[in-house]
Amino acid sequence: MKLIHSVRTPFELTLKGLVTAALLVGLHSPALAQDQCDLTSECQSLFGSQATDCANSWSSSSVCMCGGQRCDELDDGGDTDPGSDNRYSVPGYVQAEDYARFSDTTTQNLGGEYRQDAVDIQTTSDNGGQYNVGWIATNEWLEYDIAVQSAGVYEAKIRVASNPGGGMFTLEIDGNQRTGAIQVGTTGGWQSWQTLTVGLGQLSVGNHTLRVQVQSGGFNLNWFELAQNDGDNGGGSEMIGHFNASQDLLLANYDLRPDPDDLHTVAAFATMLRDSRFQSVNVHAVAGAYGTQGGTYIEAEHLFNLAFGNNRWSDAHNNRSGALNEVYGIASSVLSGGGDIWIQEAGQSDFSADLVRRIQQNMPGINTQQRIHLVQHSNWNQDQTTDADLTYVRNQTDYHKIDDGNSVNNGSPGFNSKDTSQWSRVLNDAEVGDIWAEAKRVADYSIDHHPGWKNPTIRDGGMDFSDTVEDTWIFGFNNLHNHRSFFDEFL
């Protein structure tokens, strides 16, 4: 479904108001005329919570949609949706093609099977289902109505197939995300099927909505099995987005020079790590991972101790050689055990380049282009990296340059805002309030007393933890929009 926006003349706007008013007072036929809405909320006022969209809003052909159909057609008995009247009993199986509501990027069923709406369905060769949903694309979603018969901790087994791999999706219950992004690797073909298992956490008895929200397409879905799993607190797959929590290492590098945004970023990442979903993540941080830029280094020893613990970070500013030795020792142990290294480059890549060189020198059997994944969001950080080091890590690691985290709607969340409304929330949080208080104290002191860059967001009392987008990308939470949705997710 696509929203079409156009500029209206005064006459059209007046007509729009008359039509809307007529609808609201009941002066319409049972099958509503076109030009029904500007906003989804208007549709919900007409049709209730089943209304999910106002399609073609701000045009002369706007219409209220309930999933894949016009709401007025549903009211007139024109429902041809096999899933809309079905509520799946849980524990049990849910067939992917029997969704109740959807958002799809195409206008027709590319597979041509089973249903006549926009979701793409084909015949499957997999056991346990005549059809599968295919041609799945980024930002699409499917919703299923479920009825939980027995309260408890649940897990979901999900049947997927993908020829290229690279797909990712999350599962939501009643609008709340219950998983990190679930990664779909290559299965060997579009009809070569594998089963993924993820924890959903506690489900209460009663009716609920299960949503599959796609972050990255390129995979097929056949079915889900929702089953109780009271024995392991809702565990399942050890993958959190791209990260294998059973064996990988997250190396969090911060330059701390001269911009105090790294201080807020440390507190934000610590907020993620306090979430129970990250309790098994292996993390080591590095302070002073800077490159060629000038300016004052911001000392933040107490903040790093609060955020990571005394033994889980290295000081590359005061002892670069010692920090490199420490990090190499940790990284080499992880690589020897079969894990990969993920580098959150909230700084420049000079330190990372030295680490990769040490690994290549001492561990020639390690393919660093496959086993070391470096994620960078900042053009400025790239510009302030020594040229030879930037070229080296681009060529010798699995290097990812993602969209900048300083603004919204560009492919990454926007974690830089002068909005001050979230400070009381984080400072009063029992788990991370002391970390945020220390980050704010040191950042504010830096703005007032250190020469050089005066971060305008922090200067004006806002929050800037833009480097955290590298963590949300690695762990599969790139669907977050801004700083408020970040705290809604992790606090």
Residues 29-44: tens digit of each pLDDT: 333 446 778 777 777 6
Which of 215, 216, 184, 186 minimizes the C-alpha distance to 198? 184
Q: DSSP letters along 416-443, please?
A: EE---TTHHHHHT-TTTHHHHHHHHHHH
Q: How confident is the model at residue 197 (pLDDT cuts 50, 70, 90)?
A: confident
Give the whole-angstrom CA distance, residue 389 versus residue 367: 18
CA atoms within a 13 Å half-sphere pointing along the CA-CB vector of 415: 31
> Tell me, what amino acid is at 413?
P
Q: What is the mean pLDDT of residues 254-267?
A: 97
Q: What are phi and psi of 200, to 5 degrees?
A: -105, -15
pLDDT per position as a tens digit, 237-250: 477 888 888 889 99
Q: Which residue has the higher pLDDT, 45 or 443?
A: 443
pLDDT per position as a tens digit, 271-330: 999 998 898 899 999 999 999 999 999 999 999 999 999 889 999 999 999 999 999 999
pLDDT at 369: 94
CB 193 within 8 A of CB 260: no
pLDDT at 361: 96
Which of 141, 131, 67 minimizes the C-alpha distance to 105? 141
Q: Which residues of 220-239 are buried (b: 16+ CB within 10 A; e: fewer)?
A: bbbbbbbebbeeeebebbeb
pLDDT at 237: 45
DSSP 13: H
Tally of residues, the chain: 491
Q: Which residue has the higher pLDDT, 450 or 26?
A: 450
Q: Which residue has the higher pLDDT, 453 or 248?
A: 248
Give the whole-angstrom CA distance, residue 484 versus residue 429: 15
88-237 CATH pick, 2.40.110.10, 1.20.1250.20, 2.60.120.260, 3.90.550.10: 2.60.120.260
Measure CA 29 to chain center. Answer: 43
pLDDT at 352: 98
**Terminus-to-terminus CA distance in the chain, angstroms?**
33
Which of 60, 43, 64, 54 minimizes the C-alpha distance to 8? 60
pLDDT per position as a tens digit, 129-184: 689 999 999 999 999 999 999 888 888 999 999 999 889 999 999 888 888 778 89
Q: Which residues of 369-398 are buried (b: 16+ CB within 10 A; e: fewer)?
A: eebbbbbbbbeebbebbeeebbebbbebbb
* Percentage of the chain lying above the pLDDT 90 cut: 63
pLDDT at 36: 77
Give the whole-angstrom CA distance, residue 262 versus residue 235: 32
Give the whole-angstrom CA distance, residue 108 versus residue 1: 10
Give the whole-angstrom CA distance, residue 21 versus residue 35: 11
pLDDT at 450: 86
Which of 344, 341, 322 minimizes the C-alpha distance to 332? 341
Q: How confident is the model at residue 49 (pLDDT cuts 50, 70, 90)?
A: low
Question: Does the pLDDT of residue 230 top 50, yes or no?
Answer: yes
Q: What is the mean pLDDT of residues 458-482?
A: 94
pLDDT at 45: 65
pLDDT at 34: 61
CATH 3.90.245 domain locations along the chain: 243-490
Q: Which residue has the higher pLDDT, 85 or 54?
A: 54
What three-state secondary structure class fits 8?
Answer: coil
Q: DSSP letters along 339-356, please?
A: --EEEEEES-SHHHHHHH
Q: DSSP letters along 263-311, please?
A: HHHHHHHHHHHHSGGGTT-EEEEEE----S--S-----HHHHHHHH-TT
DSSP 19: H
Give the whole-angstrom CA distance, residue 462 versus residue 484: 12
- Lookup result for tokens 């959190």: 240
pLDDT per position as a tens digit, 8-25: 444 343 334 433 433 333
CB atoms within 10 A of CB 333: 11
Domain 243-490 -> CATH class:
alpha beta
Give the whole-angstrom CA distance, residue 169 versus residue 46: 32
Give the whole-angstrom CA distance, residue 6 versus residue 183: 38
pLDDT per position as a tens digit, 61-101: 788 877 667 777 664 333 334 444 468 899 998 999 999 99
Mean residue pLDDT across the chain: 86
What three-state secondary structure class fits 325?
Answer: helix
pLDDT at 127: 73
CATH 2.60.120.260 domain locations along the chain: 88-237
pLDDT at 222: 94
